[in-house]
Structure 1
Amino acid sequence: MTKLNQEEQEIFDSYENDEWNSVKTSERITQLQSYAKATLAKDKNITLRLSSLDLEALQAKAIEEGIPYQTLISSILHKYVTGQLIDN
């Protein structure tokens, strides 16, 4: 299991203690679906030059994850620009 930081552990404990209440309404679901569509929309193409070694390594990682390598690259870039990419 991944080690949680203090904030993550507090959220996890709160969830485990049934301190969360559902806000499931049709309006909220519609709102969240529109957010998801906007976030996941891939509406731009780019050309990117990589070394063959980096590309081969990305393709190997993508195979391990069971996803296309373009999806992996897109995910890594998204995590980087949103501050979610964690350096181990």
Structure 2
Amino acid sequence: MINLDPEEIEILEAFDSDRLTRTANWQEELEQHKQIASATFAQNSTINISVSEKDLRSLQKRALAEGIPYPLFISSILHKFIEGKLVEIS
């Protein structure tokens, strides 16, 4: 089960109840968000780190559950940590 914050729950409920409508310039906004997402996860540098086999397997399993490649998952974790947005789940 994915833990959602209150804003995400509100958006999901609005979607489920068909209360969402498109803006007049939705195609432009979609393109802008695609560019932002691409820039956010663009690989600018490569690093080599050593992790335990157990941790690597755990990272790979979590990435698989998220539906993304594990290097991207690791990059995402690091980015969230740097931005102060990494949330610990139990």
Q: Same fold (TM over 0.5)?
A: yes
The residue number in structure 1 matching 2:16 is 16
Q: What is the CA deviation profile of residues 58-78 of structure 1, one whole-angstrom value per residue up to 9, with x for unaligned ones? A: 34x268546543233223323
The residue number in structure 2 matching 1:35 is 36
* In 2, Cα distance between equivalents of 1:37 and 1:64: 20
The residue number in structure 2 matching 1:44 is 45
Structure 2 gaps, min length 5: none
Q: How many residues align?
A: 87
The structure with the largest alpha-carbon Rg is: 1
* In 1, Cα distance between equivalents of 2:29 and 2:68: 30
Higher relative contact order structure (alpha carbons within 8 Å, sequence separation ≥ 6): 2
Q: How big is the alpha-carbon RMSD for the aligned residues of Structure 1 and Structure 2?
A: 3.1
* Percent identity between the two aligned chains: 36
- Using the size of structure 1 for normalisation, the TM-score is 0.60
Q: 1:74 to 1:15 in 2, by over 3 A?
A: same
* In 2, Cα distance between equivalents of 1:52 and 1:26: 44
Q: 1:47 to 1:33 in 2, by over 3 A?
A: same
- C-alpha contact 1:62 1:68 (8 A) present in aligned 2: no
- C-alpha contact 1:58 1:69 (8 A) present in aligned 2: yes
